[in-house]
Chains A and B, each alone.
Chain A
């Protein structure tokens, strides 16, 4: 049997950046690896709004041959970014291969090549010491990885008031163009800085892995909104881009169509058991080390299944979210923008009740289909058309991410004997943050009301973490040491968000990449190279 130096389980941000760090070793990546496809060339030639105007959109691409885009009419809520027909592969059939049972947690799992990063918001947010509270290392340990990954993926943004939260970053491409409404918000913030700062609010441009200039063979963003309808937009970083380079250069051997379910350690080797999803046959692969990077839920499942442990409850962390609309009262009747980027600005909120600042990302509403939001307006449908014409171009949507950063996680999970995970999550009371944001923004002409805030059930952010947490002195076989090594294991590492000790409000993806690279560098040192 062929023995690999390292077996990486999963191809998302963690698996890809761990594998990238291991170039030169004999690396095998095991993955389910569902693949998506892109829109036809004709469909890619215009923005979503332009297609609507010209009537040139292929309905099967935008609505779907099986009407996938209508999912939310009579199904469990799915993010607009995941329900489009060509995006369904991201979460396709996860319930069959990785079942989860819960009444309190509305999760999904991605079995796609590249994982959830196929549909990420592309936020590139460095964690600072305050965001790493509870971790067994400081932010300085990640700095060089953040820098290196920034060069690899290409980040747009600028230095502004948010430097105090994200640090100054070199090598940024110019920020994305704002819509008239986004620009009006930022302009008014700059004019009333004192008003906002007194309330602990800071605003600036989004730092995103979306290109505004050519980078590494990839082209800049076309402001077409098509990323809601197709994967692999060249301008928006996707780990598949790096993975393809690694595979084509021979740095990684990729085996798709396999779901890893357990491992066993025998002497100096780790045997990873997988199920071949095509044949249904179990297969085994051997490595000197294994890196779990299957996502917080599936990495926990593999760890529990490997010990046939059906009684231990592991912690689970999640960013609960809320949404609220913001209407620019001075912008009513403003014309719609045919080409725009959904990401507009970011607000950071310092509040006494939270140890670290909260993030509120502000987006345009236009990126979604009318059907995704028009029924949310409390008016008759005839009036909703007027709302769409005159109000929507002047409307932004704020999305608040709540941390799960207390010593005790808000969620927990255990493995059932049928292989499913049973998840419980305790939703926290929300609303105060939104009220204070709404109140502060009213002063600059952006109106909203607490009554129209939406609070999706926990799990809807898809930011899951902390199931196999890192700690300075691990005591349980489901904790890792600061280098990501599972306690009582000789060579099984955890590189994804499962190893996060706490979960800050900031989007965790950039830190997943950096931490995975950090852990992989430690693994690499085992091989004296």
Chain B
């Protein structure tokens, strides 16, 4: 897996999930983390992530579809790496942490979760059926 592809993944995935492009430091960490987490194996052989980035596919939809139908899969692992590495980015803090009481907003937003997630799952199914991003099934 080339470094350029990993950097483009980091930029695209970060923008898709957090609404901000990955900083150069985050890109560096993402590249190095891949080497540590996957060791000698090449995740490229399992997932056509270059095409996901090029076609600007809804990565959130694809991920939930893979997670629910394949369990541990390479796309979930890549986003997991990104989430860990972004955790201490203060710009993302408000996206994850609520600092004041917001009961009405919480109920309204959480009520949407099952519907939105179901929609994303269906969208992921359609995207995978059409494009076949997963190259190799895990045993």
Instruction: State the A residues within 8 Å of B (CB).
Output: 49, 51-55, 57, 59, 62-63, 66-67, 69-70, 73-74, 332-336, 369-371, 374-375, 378-383, 385-391, 393
Instruction: Number of B interface residues at 8 Å Cβ cutoff, please give it.
Output: 49
Contact status A55-B83, CB under 8 Å: no
- Closest chain B residue to A338 by CB distance? B99
Decide if B85 is an interface residue (CB 8 Å cutoff): yes
In the assembled complex, how far is the CB of residue B126 from the closest CB belonging to chain A, in whole angstroms? 14
Interface-centre pick from A332, A382, A388 (highest chain B CB count, 10 A)? A382
- Beyond known contacts A69-B84, A73-B81, A385-B95: 4 more, CB 8 A cutoff: A52-B97, A66-B36, A74-B77, A333-B103
B45 contacts the other chain (CB 8 A): no
Closest A-B pairs by Cβ, 10 of them: A333-B106, A55-B90, A390-B106, A333-B103, A371-B84, A380-B120, A379-B117, A57-B88, A389-B98, A388-B96
Also in contact, A67 and B33, with CB within 8 A (given A333-B98, A380-B64, A389-B98): yes
Select which of B33, B100, B117 is within 8 A of A380 by beta carbon: B117
Tell yes or no: B54 within 8 A of A by CB: no
Once bound together, how far apart are the Cα atoms of A419 and B57, in whole Å? 53
- Chain A residues whose C-beta falls within 8 Å of the C-beta of B79 in the assembled complex: 381
Q: How far is the CB of B20 from chain A (nearest CB, A)?
A: 13
For B80, give the chain A residue with the smallest CB separation: A73
B102 touches A52 (CB 8 A): no
Contact B110 A387 (CB under 8 A): yes
Q: Is B113 an interface residue (CB 8 A)?
A: yes
Secondary structure class of chain B's binding surface, majority of residues: helix
Contacts of B85 in A (CB 8 A): 59, 63
Is B110's CB under 8 angstroms from A332's CB?
yes
Q: Which residues of B contact A (CB under 8 A)?
A: 17, 29, 32-33, 36-38, 60-61, 63-64, 67-68, 76-77, 79-81, 83-85, 87-91, 93, 95-107, 109-110, 112-114, 116-117, 120-121
Question: Which residue on A lies nearest to B113, using beta carbons?
Answer: A383
A460 CB, min distance to chain B CBs, angstroms: 18
Contact: A369 with B87, CB < 8 Å? yes
From the candidates A55, A74, A387, name the one contacting B88 in the complex (CB within 8 A).
Answer: A55
Given A59-B29, A388-B96, A70 and B81 contact (CB-CB distance below 8 Å): yes
Chain A: minimal CB distance from B122 (Å): 11
A335→B60 contact, CB < 8 A: no
Assess whether B88 is in contact with A383, with CB atoms less than 8 Å apart. no
Instruction: Say how far A184's CB is from chain B's closest CB, in angstroms.
Output: 13
Contact residues in B for A393 (Cβ distance below 8 Å): 98
CB distance from A194 to the nearest CB of B (A): 29
- Contact between chains at B83 and A74 (CB < 8 Å): no
In whole Å, how far is B107's beta carbon from the nearest beta carbon of chain A? Answer: 6
Q: Are the CB atoms of A70 and B121 closer together than 8 Å?
A: no
Task: State whether A336 and B29 are in contact (beta carbons under 8 Å apart), knowing that A67-B37, A379-B114 are contacts in the complex.
Answer: no
**What is the chain A residue whose CB lies nearest that of B116?**
A383
**Contact indicator A70/B33 (Cβ below 8 Å):** yes
Q: Are A332 and B107 in contact (CB under 8 A)?
A: yes
Chain A residues whose CB sits within 8 angstroms of the CB of B36 once the complex forms: 66-67, 70
Inter-chain CA distance A389–B114, complex, in Å, is 16
Query: Which chain A positions have C-beta within 8 A of B109?
Result: 386, 389-390
